[in-house]
Chain A
Amino acid sequence: MGLFSLFQRHRTFDHGIYPVEHKELTADKPIRRLPFAPELVIPLAQHKGAPAVPLVKVGQEVVRGEPIARAEGFVSVPMHAPATGVIRAIALTPTADGPKTQAIFLKVYEAASQEVLYDLERDLDTMTSEEIVAAVQDAGLVGLGGAAFPSHVKLKPPAGKVIETVVVNGCECEPYLTCDHRIMLEQSDALIRGIKLALKATGAKRAIIGVEDNKLDAVAHLRAVLPKDLPITAEAVETKYPQGAEKMLIKSLLRKEVPVGGLPADIGVAVYNVGTLAQMGDLLPRGRGLIERVVTVSGPAVANPGNFMVPIGTPLRFLLEQVGLAADRVGEVILGGPMMGMAVASLDVPVTKAVSGVVALEREDPDLDRRKVYPCIKCAECLKACPVSLNPSMLGELALARQYERMAEEFNLNQCFECGCCAYVCPSNIPLTQYFRIAKSINRDRNA
């Protein structure tokens, strides 16, 4: 950020915050492969929607790329073997979500060739949009930005809705994360193929790649390689958290708002993460399944941070050993970014399709006492930070008074997407985001 940036303003949304980015740790680290972990743990519920159903038995040998679980219905995706090996068990495993979930334990053959032998060449040009949707589901593709919503569902606009614009999300607004940045630089061919597929499947007229202006090299690179005959553009948007939230990015790029209670499709928009589309462009022509993803491993407690192509199912313990975890300094290990990611209780938790980053934060200075909670002093910082213009101060008071229904009915609680801006800025250290999470879940239970 120089003086020049004062005059060159990129498009943005209202409010938001500017946390320290820490991207310099990994932004120039090209995506590398790591050795296979001795055992991979593949949870069956790695996406929103119904968990996959195992197709394999204990003791069965599988080849890298082979389907090992099938989708259970439309809002579900299959799983593929991330490595050649043998199924050791189908049992419970801890995940970041807390309660244990069913998973396939795959013992990796050390000596085996780890080449993917499951190919099904496809001609993208002759595929209909229905075929693309089906192929994307077969690939087991989900939103790789962290939401893990089955991608093929978003490619099929709801009945009566017309998709005009595909928004490609290259913002990567979470501190520390740089995997999308690297993907835009290193996998632009696959990304462009993916965008073309998304345009065709949705019937949209144009695609806009939105990239935060701390990655102007990615914007320049994409502009240089984007085919001139296609309606795809790359736009810089202001570096501000949570620019990568789809509602915020839509506002920044299109000056439109997704209606309360609605979906982007209601205003003719479909949003995909760049990582998702790059995988789509890579896997679909070859008929392969998603078996690995790019993960940023970073944070102050990591000796050699970087961007890595990690097989799905790699336990965090193995991954962190490869990068050198400062075990005496580590305080929290977070899946995703530090603003919205989840801290794990165990390093046995595996990397899933939703994991864009593994961030190891340092133990805090116990003398710092930064987390002492004061009463709300109505400083209004949270109102100025909330990207959807809620009144977190008021919502926080109502939460303490247990008026959860009033929070939803009068103060738009359900518009909160838990970005964490309010809790980040709160000088009283009130855990506002956590209050809202609890209030929403109580309301859900009550209405169920």
Chain B
Amino acid sequence: MPKPIEIRTSPHLKRAISVDRIMRNVVFALLPICAFAVFQFGLSALLLILTTTGAAIATEWFFARASGQGNTVSDWSVVITGILLALTLPPGFPLWMAAVAAFVGVALGKALFGGLGYNVMNPALVGRAFVQAAFPVAITTWTPAFAPGRFTEVIPSTFTLPFMQPTPVKDWIMGLQLDAWTGATPLALQKFQQIEPPVTEVFTGMIAGSAGETSALLILICGLWLAFKRMLDWRIPVAVMAGAALTALPFWLMDSSVYPSPWFVLFSGGLMLGAWFMASDMVASPVTTSGVILYGLFIGIVTVVIRLFGGLVEGVMYAILLANAAGPLISSWTQPRVYGAIKKTREVE
């Protein structure tokens, strides 16, 4: 009888789940949303997703190699960053700008902090925040959904050369002879013209908007699937939605001709994608159970405050980035009460 081969320390059993499997599942959950984006906006959306994902992977590969971490692309986390970033951008967003966003997101939002697990904020949102500041016109130029010919030609702004002005999409849209095109997303319509599109359209996503944010329904289904597989903490999206709806409710009750209904707040813009796939980013959210609820409520409240009173039509991105920054503090405020302790033994530093 040979000697036992292995000597390890307890526990000698492990749950058969690993980081790469969790990340892969998040990617799977995002694929239907990608498919809908391509269905809705055509080739441009496909190219956008491929560009941000490719650029994010290349950036990760370069920095991991440069810092001697080896191949970290295989943990799939950077693929999520690339896809999520694309989903938050307008469908005709110039590809070179999208690549810059992906580079900045991964380099400044992740690699700078030491890679997976060490970033403070969601890298996709860091990238988007950068291009929001750098290219304010391009990132607020929206194209209509379900344009005819979307699978045979790209939106002209897609192939804008670096540091050139994007081709105005207006002429292109006129060329398509679209009557109903207003050039605005539901959020902008509501905010600046007090026209609230039907909630059903907003909910199902039959409207203009960022590439992957339009269908609240689809995002909800994909998010619920991940939550069911326990690869997403359901408390976060639920708290975000509760925070947003409860903040919007009193204003709407006061004056429904100016303020949007809670339903509209929930299903328009990036709130759904933000709640289910951005705020729930494990790395950048607090670890304690009561902490994630505070964190989610904070995101929901700040989003609605920015939407109702800020100069922007959208607030989810900044709300999540702010909450990410507050994450470690929220965690340390909400340390669990240890078994057998009379009261909380941990004080805030």
Contacts and interface: CB of A to CB of B under 8 A. Distances in A.
B339 A389 contact: yes
Contacts of A375: 114-118
A344 B10 CA distance: 11
B338 A260 contact: yes
A262 interface: yes
Interface stretch (B12-20, B147-155, B196-204): B12-20
A393 interface: yes
Given A330-B4, A383-B289, A433-B9, 14 more contacts: A334-B10, A338-B11, A342-B9, A342-B10, A346-B3, A374-B117, A375-B116, A377-B22, A377-B117, A378-B284, A394-B287, A423-B14, A427-B15, A429-B14
B9 A427 contact: no
Contacts of A412: 338, 341, 345-346
Interface in B1-46: 1-22
Interface residues of B, number: 49
B173 interface: no
Given A338-B12, A412-B345, A374 B18 contact: yes
7 contacts: A259-B342, A340-B11, A343-B12, A380-B289, A383-B289, A389-B336, A433-B11
Interface in B333-349: 335-342, 345-346
A431 B9 contact: yes
Contacts of A418: 10
Interface string B188-206: 0000000000000000000
Contacts of A433: 9-11
Which interface class (under 10, 10 to 19, 20 to 34, 35 or more) fits A?
A: 35 or more
B7 A343 contact: yes
A446 interface: no
A391 B335 contact: yes
Contacts of B1: 317, 320-321, 325, 327, 347
Contacts of A371: 14
A104 B282 CA distance: 55
B335 A374 contact: no
A341 interface: yes
Interface of A: 17, 19-20, 175, 247, 251, 257-260, 262, 317, 320-321, 325, 327, 330-334, 338-347, 359, 361, 363-364, 370-372, 374-380, 383-384, 387-391, 393-394, 410-412, 415, 418, 420-421, 423-425, 427-429, 431, 433-434, 437
B213 interface: no
Nearest to B345: A412
A333 B6 CA distance: 8
A321 B114 CA distance: 51
Interface in B35-94: 75, 77
Contact of A389 (B11, B13, B282, B338): B338
B17 A361 contact: no
Contact of B8 (A258, A340, A343, A415): A343
Contact of A374 (B75, B285, B341): B75
Interface string B298-317: 00000000000000000000
Contacts of A391: 287-288, 335-336
B12 A415 contact: no
Contacts of A421: 11
A388 B21 contact: no
Contacts of B335: 391, 411
A374 B19 contact: yes
Contacts of A339: 10-13
A378 B338 contact: no
Contacts of A340: 10-11
Nearest to A392: B287
Contacts of B115: 375
Given A383-B336, A415-B340, A425-B15, A333 B4 contact: yes
A340 B233 CA distance: 29
Nearest to B341: A260
A258 B339 CA distance: 8
B75 to A, nearest CB: 6
Nearest to B77: A377
A101 to B, nearest CB: 18
Contact of A383 (B8, B11, B288): B288
A411 B341 CA distance: 12
B283 interface: yes
Contact of B282 (A330, A378, A394): A378
The 10 A-B residue pairs whose C-beta atoms are closest, nearest first, are A420-B11, A375-B117, A388-B339, A338-B12, A389-B336, A374-B19, A380-B287, A260-B340, A257-B340, A379-B282
Contacts of A317: 1
Contacts of B20: 374
Contacts of A342: 9-10
A178 B255 CA distance: 67
Contacts of A388: 338-340
A378 B339 contact: no
Contacts of B19: 374, 377, 427-428
Contacts of B17: 427
Contact of A247 (B13, B283, B340, B341): B340
Contacts of A341: 10, 12
B12 A332 contact: yes
Contacts of A393: 287
B288 A370 contact: no
A428 B339 contact: no
